[in-house]
A and B are shown apart, each in its own frame.
Chain A
Amino acid sequence: MVLVLAIGDLHIPHRAADLPPKFKSMLVPGKIQHIICTGNLCIKEVHDYLKSLCPDLHVTRGEYDEDSRYPENKTLTIGQFKLGICHGHQVIPWGDLDSLAMLQRQLDVDILITGHTHQFKAYKHEGGVVINPGSATGAYSSFTYDVNPSFVLMDIDGLRVVLYVYELIDGEVKVDKIDFKKTATTHATH
């Protein structure tokens, strides 16, 4: 059982002052093995905070990030899964699942994690899963008027990944659960 936190688009301090206190109290160090961050933190203090939750932190660059050295996209392997990260402002049209699926094929990953729209999404297609953890602070987004703070916790266990979606709606934390199973087909090798 490997816990992976997918979080992003905090936009601190431009669009939000801090994480919601109810989220902060849930995110404690030592419980999570990896953190995947889609970008737009935006400042070093947020980076340090995430690092304090878990030293294995992977961040991709959002257009407002102070640190320009974050990569445009990143891939990593956790257990049986290959994961890809990209902020998403580079994939046009923004939020378009087919275009995101193309990126997924390009990175050759089972799970693609991207952000930018501040809308939670979990979408399964033949190539794998596309996840958007939304904005952890519920920051303003030109994409949608209705932004609830949200993040995703993935529990990777063998060929199965369970997504726990945490959303702050009207002051209460609501949790949803989504199951994905990877078929054990091997990719055609060249």
Chain B
Amino acid sequence: MIADGVEDEEKWLAAGIAGLQQNAFYMHRALDSNNLRDALKYSAQMLSELRTSRLSPHKYYELYMRAFDELRKLEMFFKEETRRGCSIIDLYELVQHAGNILPRLYLLCTVGCVYIKTKEAPAKDVLKDLVEMCRGIQHPVRGLFLRSYLAQVSRDKLPDIGSEYEGDADSVVDAVEFVLQNFTEMNKLCYTACQSFILLADPELRLAVGLSGLQGPAREKEKREKERSELRDLVGKNLHVLGQIEGVDLDMYKDTVLPRVLEQVVNCKDELAQYYLMDCIIQVFPDEYHLQTLDVLLGAFPQLQPTVDIKTVLSRLMERLSNYAASSADVLPEFLQVEAFSKLNNAIGKVIEAQPDMPTLGVITLYSSLLTFTLHVHPERLDYADQVLGACVKKLSGKGKLQDNKATKQIVALLSAPLEKYNDIVTALKLSNYPRMMEYLDSETNKVMATVIIQSIMKNKTRISTADRVEALFELIKGLIKDLDGSPDDEVDEDDFKEEQNSVARLIQMLYNDDPEEMFKIICTVRKHILAGGPKRLPFTVPPLVYSSLKLVRQLQSQEENPFGEEESTTPKKIFQLLNQTVETLSNVPAPELALQLYLQCAEAANDCDLEPVAYEFFTQAYILYEEEISDSRAQVTAIHLIIGTLQRMHVFGVENRDTLTHKATGYSAKLLKKPDQCRAVYACSHLFWVDDQDNIKDGERVLLCLKRALRIANAAQQMSNAARGSTGSVTLFVEILNKYLYFYEKGNPQINVAAIQSLIELITTEMQSETSTPDPAADAFFASTLRYIEFQKQKGGAVGEKYEPIKV
């Protein structure tokens, strides 16, 4: 018995299930003993549990499923009975004696299925009968489940083309008619059900009808919403069935199915149901049908409730059509033939007009779907794509920069679509509205988009080859190039920042044109943009620009000088001037070590162009940086190596200039902090006075002076070590200097004689055997391999052998 008053669904459900199971038990007993009458009696009693009004749809479903399972067994029994000779028509008659209408109808449907299977009557007749009789139940929940049962059990028995139940011609029409009718009735019932639930959500009303207060508004609302959508699913199943009927061809869809379904959708006036059903139609029926009925479909939208989420439905429709277009090139002519683009474009325009309060995200989603559609269906029509972007821009104008996260994500998706499709930023740049769209992005999102653009270029190895395009490109990616909001962004993660700037650096490598004039213009354009980037960005962006410029210098060198060339044409000199000014900007960062390296690179390039004053100027700048800005001892060592190494290779300097620079370089070397560093730098300087391929630079005396100076420093290092630590330290430096003596001796420096070498060897040997020296296996091995080298040279014979012969090891 069900208690009155307090709502306790669980209790009622439990009671219902108990009752059902009990009657099912007796039904089974009757079936086992072939007792048809009792079976019918108990099955009717069992089905009576479904007459309850006290259960929510969710709970009712549980009861319904158990009944469903039991009815299957009953159905099997009926089948057996007909095989045993019982007349199905009699059976059909018999079940109608059940007392209450609901059990009666469930039994009828069950027998009806068996009836159809016997084929003693055409399927269409039985189905028509059943669907009409179900009108007897007008209670929303009970009616919905009953009709759902009918739909479920009749599903495989429809008189479709090719099915075993296909009757005479046009039987498909009957099948469609049956399903449509069921759908129509279910739709109405569902609407009523949902309305009453909306009312039941009202707490005052609930108290008035004797139900308890709500557990909590939000949870209740969620529960009710879920139940409503479950009910709608039941209705939607009919559409799925329709979608699977083979016999529903395009004509039948156009003439019968779609108009009837749309009529129902529009009439039901429930915004959520309308949304759900429109979406269902789109998902269930084939895309070619949608194409051919585009007018009708789109025409339905304005007739829907104003609060229906049309944009999502439209977007999903366009998505499907895009995929359809992408699936095969054969279908594309169809799109053109039905003028799909302009119809969709107009429809979107109307929807946006009709909903002026549509949030920005919605607008962008719509245009994003349309753009994807356009790219798939009309890839060559850049004007269409531009049109879509333009419409979107227009809609966004006056709204300022977007703050909504989802909206900006959607814009990124919108803008990425042409990039992916065309694989080519250059084509995307042709869309005049593309940069306008980017204006609406806040600086964070601009950076994201810029990164997408750069990645696309790198992936496709796109070459950007004119200054105009470079200008347009850098405008687009300006979020990466400079601080957009005026104030620097302190929140950017350092690693992210590095990655961003490195990608800009890589991008610069892709900007290239064979024509030097155009290339120079490109370089100037890039320079203009990166100099606005501020001190944090320059160390990343200046080097690649410098190297692009140096490559251009080389290119110009290989071309012949045109004596009739215009004043304006590009020359290496001009480029060096630009380079000087560019590297100078690194002083704002400050980045002296990097600037020094770049100055030296420029000096070498000027050397190759025989531009002595230019090369000298670069060296001067490098030296100034060394003297004034580089104070870290490790950095100094590296800088010295680069200075000496570069200077050693210069051939453009006259004697005076070279002397000045060399003198300075040796001075710096002698003033390095650590003695070993000093020593090594000084003997490296010896090479400044002896260059193999330049006969006028072979000053043996000054070479020897350097080596001797290095020796003195090495000695001093030993003494210091002795004083500080009690042992003289390693002899490595001496061995290194010895090797240098051998080097110049071999090269034929007359100032280096065997005696000097000999005494150095003895010095080292003595030092190594001395008690105060620190044992150093590395130095020992070094000395050993040096001696081996001497031996080897002796054995070479000839001029070399002669030279080495007098050296005793």
Contact = CB atoms under 8 A, between A and B. Distances in A.
Contacts of A64: 543, 597
Given A13-B506, A93-B687, A190-B784, A105 B789 contact: yes
B547 A140 contact: yes
Interface residues of A, number: 33
Contacts of B781: 108, 187, 190
A126 B792 contact: yes
B785 A13 contact: no
Contacts of A98: 743, 746
Interface stretch (A14-22, A24-32, A176-184): A14-22
Contacts of B503: 13
A17 B736 contact: no
Nearest to A185: B788
A93 B506 contact: no
Contacts of A17: 458, 506-507, 509-510
Given A13-B505, A140-B551, A187-B784, A102 B641 contact: no
B601 interface: yes
B502 A188 contact: no
B565 interface: no
Interface in A100-131: 101-102, 105-106, 108, 126-127
A43 interface: yes
B648 interface: yes
A93 B645 contact: yes
Most buried by A among B642, B646, B777, B785: B785
B642 A142 contact: no
A12 B684 CA distance: 29
B641 A89 contact: yes
- The dominant DSSP class at the A interface is loop
B554 interface: yes
Interface in B674-732: 684, 687, 691-692, 732
Nearest to A128: B785
Contacts of A145: 554
Interface in A115-168: 126-127, 140, 142, 145
A92 B547 contact: no
Nearest to A94: B645
A18 to B, nearest CB: 7
A63 B601 CA distance: 12
A52 interface: no
Contact of B547 (A14, A44, A45, A90): A14
Contacts of A44: 498
B544 A14 contact: yes
A99 interface: yes
Most buried by A among B506, B736, B746: B506
A187 B785 contact: yes
Contact of A92 (B499, B687, B778, B786): B687
* Interface size classification for chain B: 35 or more
B289 interface: no
B185 interface: no
B276 interface: no
B777 A45 contact: no
Contact of A108 (B551, B597, B648, B782): B782
B49 interface: no
A108 B780 CA distance: 10
Contacts of B456: none
B684 A127 contact: no
Contacts of B792: 126
Interface string A78-106: 00000000000110111000110110011
B369 to A, nearest CB: 35
Contacts of B458: 17-18
B644 A92 contact: yes
Contact of B780 (A12, A127, A142, A190): A190
Contacts of A14: 505, 543-544, 547
A92 B739 contact: no
Contacts of B70: none
Contacts of A89: 638, 641-642, 645
Contacts of A90: 641
Nearest to A102: B739
A99 B547 CA distance: 29
A63 B544 contact: no
B541 to A, nearest CB: 10
Interface in A60-80: 63-64, 68
B381 interface: no
Contacts of B507: 17
B644 A43 contact: no
B780 A92 contact: no
B604 interface: yes
B778 A108 contact: yes
A13 B502 contact: yes
Nearest to A61: B638
Contact of B502 (A16, A43, A94): A43
B3 to A, nearest CB: 70
B55 to A, nearest CB: 61
Contacts of A12: 506
A92 B645 contact: yes
A42 B640 CA distance: 20
Contacts of A99: 743
Contacts of B786: 105
B123 interface: no
Given A14-B544, A92-B648, A142-B604, A127 B509 contact: no
Given A17-B510, A190-B780, A105 B644 contact: no
B266 interface: no
Contacts of B604: 142
Interface of A: 12-18, 43-45, 63-64, 68, 89-90, 92-94, 98-99, 101-102, 105-106, 108, 126-127, 140, 142, 145, 187-188, 190
10 contacts: A15-B547, A17-B507, A63-B638, A63-B641, A93-B648, A94-B648, A99-B743, A102-B743, A105-B739, A142-B649
Given A13-B505, A64-B543, A190-B781, 7 more contacts: A13-B503, A13-B544, A15-B543, A92-B648, A102-B739, A105-B739, A127-B788
* A-B residue pairs, 10 tightest by C-beta: A13-B505, A142-B604, A17-B509, A14-B543, A105-B785, A108-B781, A13-B506, A17-B506, A126-B792, A92-B684
